Structure 1
Amino acid sequence: MRVSNATLRHNVMRNLQLSLRELERSQRQMSSGRVISQPSDNPVVAAKLLNISSALAESEQFQSNVRDGISWLSVTDTNLGQVGEALHRAKELALAGANATMPDDAKVYMAREVDQLLRHVVALANVSFDGNRSLFGGTHHGTAPFTVTEGADGFLAVVGASSAGAGEGAVSYEIIRQIDIQVNTEGFRLFVAGGVFNALLAVRDALRGTGDIQLAIAGMDDALNTVLNERAVVGARHNRLVVTEQRYQEETVTFAELSSKLGDIDMAEAIMNFNVREHVYQAALAAAARVLQPTLLDFLR
């Protein structure tokens, strides 16, 4: 079968282009250090790498949520510890004030200390987590969830929520797909409904002679138990998030290793392949120069 000069030229040029494309692909691999630089290089590997990248991005987002949750719970535990210390001190003063031999003026001084402890606890209840979100404010942000009213005698007269809904509402983070964990302690449930504020008020007023000191001590015990139980809940959530963070860190390493195994080149092998393809291309050029028929211009030289 006769092969025309045009057909021969076309086939030779096509083969040269294929060889050059392989050579250029080897050069890209050595430059990037990756097996593929575009999906067409290897669609199967490209699809696997895309899945790994998507899984890694999702894992990193969950890790961010977990880290934020750990920070929130750590700060909460620290503040609850300080609340507990204030309550313990108030109980010490109450027990001292329950002594019948304690002078009334000494009890007034103790009442003023308890009033200061109450102010301290209110300040802790209003603390901000990150400058914007209230630690115990629930879903109430922007203003302090709890407020106080000063009495004419220099003692706090009223302590309570600053507005309806203040200190209420769960703040939750998604730590696994479709699985959330609550990270906040709802301040209204703890400080108001849980009786922390009222326990301090009761001790203070009993020391001032306007309440029953034994009932106040019992109320203080209840408040201490409430805070202790809440710290246990916070600690359990914190531990769960720490374990979850460790698992995500291990996943990240696994994803990175798998991505490297699939996508990274063996540089020594890549250099060898480049040299082979370069020789193939040079040989193809030489063969093309011999195979292609001389033109009329070549005869006229």
Structure 2
Amino acid sequence: MRITQRAVAQTSLLGLNQNLERMGKLQQQLTSGRQLNAPSDSPTGTNKAMQVRQNTAAVEQQARNISDGKGWLDAADTALTTILAQVRKVRDLTVQGLNTGSMQGNSALAISTEVTSLRESLLGLANQTIDGRPVFGGATGGSQAYDASGAFVGVGGLATIGGVVTDMTVPQLRRVSDTEVIRVDLTGPEVFGDQAAGRDLFALVGDIAGHVLSAGTDPTDLKTDLADLDKAVSRLLSASADIGARSARMRSAQEVNTDLQLTLKGQLADVEDVDLPKTIMEINMQRTGYEAALGATAKAIQPTLLDFLR
């Protein structure tokens, strides 16, 4: 088979162009720091990178959910700790009011005044907000859980609809992973008692302020109040324990989320980022090969008549 000079030249130029293209690709990877600069560089790698980025976006949103949920739980925990301390103070005053033998008119009035003041403080704590929303208000669009009279104005508690008693509570949930959702709130009726089922904490404390004035002659009502107050304390303790357990779950979810973010960043770097020492070595090898190919091509392609005429 006869090989013409033109065939030799075309083959040599094709090889040189391919060599130059590979060197150009390596140079682009080196300057961009990425293995994937176009989907055509690696369809499989591009697909994996897209999946990793999608997972990363989901994990980052879950991290924001965790941060928001921690804020709600911390606010509720702080409020409940203070409320428990004040309710215990109300209990101490109630027990003091039952000491009919040592109670005088001015003492009873002082206890009543202090209990009334504590009730106002408890209402203020029950209306604590985060981002403009009441912590114990449930899924309400308002800025308060309780009004000045102590009536619950949030969303939650028992309501009779069509003759059927229905729980109106709408839990506030935060997704913290692909498989776990954590509730971040407690409504006022759950914490302080449901007004539809009887006296809540605020009505009870208000009654104590009035009953302590008559405890010297008839302590029956105040004794009933004390028993109900113990139930209210027990309910508050249960709510506090519930919030604490959720906070522990939230902290655990945050640790897992942080580890997962680091893992996904590593996976994305493995797919997209270049191995700098390896790329530099490859581009040097490619350049050496290209220069050698240029030299070999110059010797393989014979000079033409035009070269002699120059």
CA distance in 2, matches of 1:187, 1:198: 13
8 Å Cα contact 1:128-1:134 kept in structure 2: yes
Say yes or no: does 1:185 pair with 2:186.
Answer: yes
8 Å Cα contact 1:137-1:168 kept in structure 2: no
Aligned length: 291
CA distance in 2, matches of 1:77, 1:290: 84
8 Å Cα contact 1:27-1:274 kept in structure 2: yes
Say yes or no: does 1:121 pair with 2:122.
Answer: yes
Say yes or no: does 1:219 pair with 2:225.
Answer: no
The alignment partner of 1:140 has SS state of: coil
* Cα drift, residue 256 of structure 1: 2.7
The alignment partner of 1:181 has SS state of: strand
* 1:162 aligned residue: 153
Distance 1:9 1:108, change over 3 A: farther
Show CA shifts across 1:216-238 (max 9, x none): 11111111111100011111111
8 Å Cα contact 2:192-2:236 kept in structure 1: no
8 Å Cα contact 1:30-1:270 kept in structure 2: yes
* 2:214 aligned residue: 209
Residue correspondence of structure 1 range 277-292 to structure 2 within 5 A? 277-292=286-301
8 Å Cα contact 2:126-2:188 kept in structure 1: yes
Counterpart of 2:296 in structure 1: which amino acid? A
Show CA shifts across 1:47-94 (max 9, x none): 333322222221221122122212211111010111111101111111
Greater shift after overlay, 26-35 or 180-189?
26-35
CA distance in 2, matches of 1:212, 1:79: 29
8 Å Cα contact 1:168-1:187 kept in structure 2: no
Counterpart of 2:192 in structure 1: which amino acid? F
- Provide structure 1 residue ranges, at least 5 long, that are not aligned to the other structure: 149-157
* Cα drift, residue 187 of structure 1: 1.6
* 2:22 aligned residue: 22
* Cα drift, residue 2 of structure 1: 4.1
* 1:40 aligned residue: 40
CA distance in 2, matches of 1:165, 1:243: 29
* 1:199 aligned residue: 204
Aligned sequence identity (%): 27
8 Å Cα contact 1:140-1:168 kept in structure 2: no
CA distance in 2, matches of 1:7, 1:67: 69
Question: Cα RMSD between the aligned structures?
Answer: 2.5
1:251 to 253, 260, 273: 260
- Provide structure 2 residue ranges, at least 5 long, that are not aligned to the other structure: 158-167
The alignment partner of 2:214 has SS state of: coil
Residue correspondence of structure 1 range 228-267 to structure 2 within 5 A? 228-267=237-276
Distance 1:73 1:165, change over 3 A: closer
Counterpart of 2:298 in structure 1: which amino acid? A
CA distance in 2, matches of 1:178, 1:269: 40
The alignment partner of 2:99 has SS state of: coil
Counterpart of 1:84 in structure 2: which amino acid? L
* 1:99 aligned residue: 99
CA distance in 2, matches of 1:292, 1:203: 110
